[in-house]
Structure 1
């Protein structure tokens, strides 16, 4: 018996992590793919006339256990991977791609879908059913259903190669990140670094059975070093090591892989009748076209550039006083922190004691309670994949005929600390989608994964203010998943247009800057003292500190992404580095370093789902600035406004996102809301 192919005998049928063995995965995938194919064959061979129920709905509910096991496996591959899991991933990915291609290219199935689509008027579908039908039909067309047999085979081969190569890209970045560490034995070289960070470095050294201190390229280690280390040469060395990830010509180099991935995407787009991959992607986004995205990014570039130039001039003046004639990119964070301290009289390290992780988590849970009536209860009997993980039951207080009832809403997993088998960064993910079937509302299982500093023997995990906003960001995504209340799993939670998906996450970050809310949880972990008013004021004032620089940086990523996916032909004759330098020149604020390139570790677009979509972070900033402006106008805890926003969160992909937004706000979002927030 394979634990993964049976109904999970756990509370809420949660993933049975403690009972899963790595050798279970491959046979489970093979068995579940076969079961799912049988479900599809039952739809295909059904002799009855094709209807919405026996084709579209049946397809939407098929493959449920396969989806769950896929989520379990690929989430482990990101959060708790090993050489064995990575090897299994290389075998599993082509199997899943082949399975998915078989479905999308099944002519009989597509003909049934097309018949229902062509006759949809006769079914009197509600809004969500119509959305499911339209998305299903479009999904098949965009997956090659209208291609001839030879082109379908070509597309299947391209999709297989893309799945394997994008997986390899991520594995290379992780291996390259883990391969580097800097061992320091002379404490004088660590001048400027706060004691709490030194303790962290000493702990890392001890784990490696070394004397002294060890700095790695994991964010909780790397960022404090380049922020506080006074030793410029060491800062440079470690910053360059980070900038060389998968770009050093070694076994984990991604440069050729980038060219191969982009070429495959271009071939896929052309095969499906699009000029380039960006056109193919953006047809299914709010932005609709590459031209609109370029116009959007360039409009923001024009507005942000003067602010960014002014900010860098301030940093140059500071550096000049230290005898540095030419400020470099590896100096930026160090001097930005100096300037911030000078202007606002605080730094991240002195704020950290006021932001112990448990208090910040309580605050974000409390905010979800105040706005949406959610309550969180830790469960110790639900299996976990690592001892650091915690699991919470989430309940929703609902009013039924004036009687307050609590209903189970979701399971929430939180995994906060870095380790060797976990990729860098922070993300929200799902183990199980929400959907309704046979009178039951099957609730979602959601996860947040971060990389915050681990607690030490004497100190709890203390967050920088940026990490506080990171937790709120990921929790915003988690709310989108937990609040889901749709009929079909493929329209549920975060299954929305990609340039809409960052609205809930970025929206929630705004609360971190609200004094009345900050005071409820920013308390010193030893004394219980509330963060002083003058510090809160400084946080508020510093909200837009280096906003010009940050905007230029994000625009640089967005423009590079769009150029990669619209001008792939140019890469045939030039290096990844040359291409990157050419298309980031307009947003670059420092001299280009010939030794580094960010593209080979740009996982968002070469491993994740942001290909031709990185612009969506800025796009969603317009949405979140406008949405929070509405909350400010009505009161940030206004129950009516929160109730309208709850509808937006719970609706998932059942409506066009612009219509959904207008139902909440009463009007389309205005770019002026973002510009006002960013630059006053």
Structure 2
């Protein structure tokens, strides 16, 4: 790193453990100068590799590329772990500028003709180079990345690719910013606390605090990222439910500055144009070529198979909910009565007398955040993988709410885990995992991993209580964190979660299985006031209520996955101008059109697809769940929460990243390729004709 770079706190080497950035020393004004330095340094390094007079080898070309750009990686690790969970107007402007600059920088590297010639030469000779599996995979990936970026196109084609990729970078960033702004602006205001009946005292207090923070009297109910809202499942007032639900489904679809419909049309058009330039029939074909799924047709067939079964189950479920309500339902009512139905079924389970009925909503009182973390999430990881977590109160994250733990494996320090759990207006919705630093033996770097959630921050002196859905999310995101923390690869491009998009959700879904495992739930499920253990009947009832997914949950997910695929199987001359009309037709064509069960994300706020990295890949959650359901059975039949099983899973999947074929490694662990049957059983589905 140059002397000039050392003057910038973004790029200055950190003396903190594991190279944790000194966030307090960095101001937003430092970022653009830091990127100016880091981009120039990286380009100089790459140009030296490309112009080398030595014949290309894996070491002087592919490994050298892996070692290049460390200053840029540091800047990215800092800035993009601020811009998502703690943005502000200046950071939003920087993100817009960087979207284009980073894309142009990537194009300059992948389309460098000298560099591509060296990579192509190695690719053609790869069978004779004596490479191991990880090196072969890395070389092949570098070659495919270059071709898919346009390196093999003529000058005119490359110029079009540069224009398309730069514009897409701007548009996807703009989509995410519009969604955050409109989600904040669409928070629903109530004058009277009586309208919030059904919410807990802490939730009502948080709504009051949100209104006060916004300079208003009364209460503000903030919106969550998906269509379905947790508050709608609790509010007893039908009018209050409808107000929140309507605010959710109309986000970014009104004629105002946050409307994303024109952005969507342009994104889809440009993606289709890029795919055609590269010889693909559609953007979906372009994306899935790098996934574990074979083709878009195979994905569509799986979604259709599941939709057929889920639709049948959904009709029965809606009939039961309507009978329970005693009147025709609206979409907002479905969420509410579904929650009531699940509680009732759990309370009146087999052998449970009416007098001993259990209210599963009480489970939240036994799920205090710190207890769930330390005695649930961390404890399970300790038993399975030998991990321990030591709070590092001497280390600061990027926001006062962020907490830092040092992670040890069998007594040896392996990295840092940061938890950013509370919602705030500056944080985009949802939950995710990210890395500040990626593990790499070549670079000598250990992982610094972040989990971001959007829990309601408690009032001072109060406890943060976690609903069952939030509990599942906590275990899910920590599954991603474990994937990053346990990584043991040589090359940074293969580290941790750097696996095919339709495989990456698999380890995180596996980790969800421990949330209610008897050896885990008994550790954390204690009443937040009395410390008493959760009654066995309550835990049994919660477990019974979650034994299978509701048809509603399956259908709203499948509708979103089908919508994503429909948008991205279009050729450029098929792109519609009316976003909502296309959405309605696509859902009807998939057999998933329902006024009562809209998609988990409608097009206008489908951030995974139009603002994130899941375009043509939202199906990956259910695709990964096929592997997850098989693995859950493998764990349970082998002994459950067992260190030997955890070691085998880590060795086969978690440590390997993309240094091996992940699906083949998983099949070798199981002893057979994963089948869909366990998934169908988990979701309570019976495929028609079987």
State the TM-score, normalizing by the size of structure 1: 0.95
Among 332, 343, 346, the alignment partner of 1:344 is 346
Distance 2:227 2:536 in 1: 30
Aligned to 1:332: 334
Confirm or deny: 8 A CA contact 2:85 2:452 kept in the other structure.
Answer: yes
Structure 2 SS opposite 1:392: strand
Distance 2:230 2:430 in 1: 15
Distance 1:461 1:307 in 2: 35
Aligned to 2:619: 615
Confirm or deny: 8 A CA contact 1:201 1:221 kept in the other structure.
Answer: no
1:555 and 2:558 are equivalent in the alignment:
yes
**Cα-to-partner distance string for 1:251-289 (whole Å, 9 max, x where unaligned):** 000000000000010011001110110001001111021
Aligned to 1:658: 663
Matches within 5 A, 1:221-260: 223-260=229-266
Structure 2 SS opposite 1:679: coil
Structure 1 SS opposite 2:231: helix
Shifted more, 263-272 versus 522-531: the winner is: 522-531
Structure 2 SS opposite 1:451: strand
Distance 1:597 1:645 in 2: 33
Aligned to 1:394: 407
Shifted more, 549-558 versus 570-579: the winner is: 570-579
Tell me the CA shift for residue 226 of structure 1. Answer: 1.0
Matches within 5 A, 1:456-495: 456-495=459-498
Matches within 5 A, 1:253-402: 253-319=259-325, 321=326, 324-325=327-328, 327-345=329-347, 349-362=361-374, 363-397=376-410
Structure 1 SS opposite 2:242: helix
Matches within 5 A, 1:577-596: 577-585=580-588, 586-588=590-592, 590-591=594-595
Matches within 5 A, 1:638-657: 638-647=642-651, 648-657=653-662
Structure 2 SS opposite 1:466: helix
Aligned to 1:427: 432
Confirm or deny: 8 A CA contact 2:104 2:162 kept in the other structure.
Answer: yes
Distance 1:547 1:181 in 2: 27
Say how many residue pairs are matched.
Answer: 666
Tell me the CA shift for residue 219 of structure 1. Answer: 6.5
Structure 1 SS opposite 2:455: coil
**Cα-to-partner distance string for 1:86-139 (whole Å, 9 max, x where unaligned):** 011111111111110000101110101111122223321111111111111111
Confirm or deny: 8 A CA contact 1:308 1:546 kept in the other structure.
Answer: no
Tell me the CA shift for residue 515 of structure 1. Answer: 2.7
Cα 1:165–1:220 shift into 2, 3 Å: closer
**Cα-to-partner distance string for 1:384-407 (whole Å, 9 max, x where unaligned):** 21110001111111xxxxxxxx22
Aligned to 2:355: none
Aligned to 1:401: none
Cα 1:220–1:162 shift into 2, 3 Å: closer
Shifted more, 25-34 versus 563-572: the winner is: 563-572
Distance 1:359 1:11 in 2: 26
Distance 2:11 2:682 in 1: 51
Aligned to 1:442: 445
Shifted more, 226-235 versus 51-60: the winner is: 226-235
Matches within 5 A, 1:38-187: 38-187=44-193
Confirm or deny: 8 A CA contact 1:220 1:451 kept in the other structure.
Answer: no
Aligned to 1:403: none
Confirm or deny: 8 A CA contact 2:268 2:575 kept in the other structure.
Answer: no
Distance 2:381 2:259 in 1: 43
Tell me the CA shift for residue 514 of structure 1. Answer: 2.0
Q: CA RMSD in A?
A: 2.1
Tell me the CA shift for residue 209 of structure 1. Answer: 4.1
Cα 1:118–1:570 shift into 2, 3 Å: closer
Distance 1:282 1:181 in 2: 37
**Cα-to-partner distance string for 1:313-351 (whole Å, 9 max, x where unaligned):** 1111122x2xx33x1211111111221222223556422
Tell me the CA shift for residue 220 of structure 1. Answer: 12
Aligned to 1:529: 532
Aligned to 1:400: none
Confirm or deny: 8 A CA contact 2:123 2:139 kept in the other structure.
Answer: yes
Matches within 5 A, 1:502-541: 502-541=505-544
Confirm or deny: 8 A CA contact 1:476 1:506 kept in the other structure.
Answer: yes
Matches within 5 A, 1:17-56: 17-56=23-62
Among 413, 426, 431, the alignment partner of 2:418 is 413
Structure 2 SS opposite 1:229: coil
Cα 1:145–1:347 shift into 2, 3 Å: farther
Shifted more, 173-182 versus 218-227: the winner is: 218-227
Distance 1:478 1:626 in 2: 21
Distance 1:133 1:382 in 2: 38
Distance 2:657 2:99 in 1: 27
Distance 1:635 1:227 in 2: 36
Distance 1:354 1:131 in 2: 47
Structure 1 SS opposite 2:546: helix
Cα 1:525–1:221 shift into 2, 3 Å: farther
Confirm or deny: 8 A CA contact 1:340 1:347 kept in the other structure.
Answer: no
In structure 2, the gaps of 5 or more residues are 1-6, 348-357, 686-690
In structure 1, the gaps of 5 or more residues are 398-405
Distance 2:95 2:576 in 1: 33
Aligned to 1:500: 503
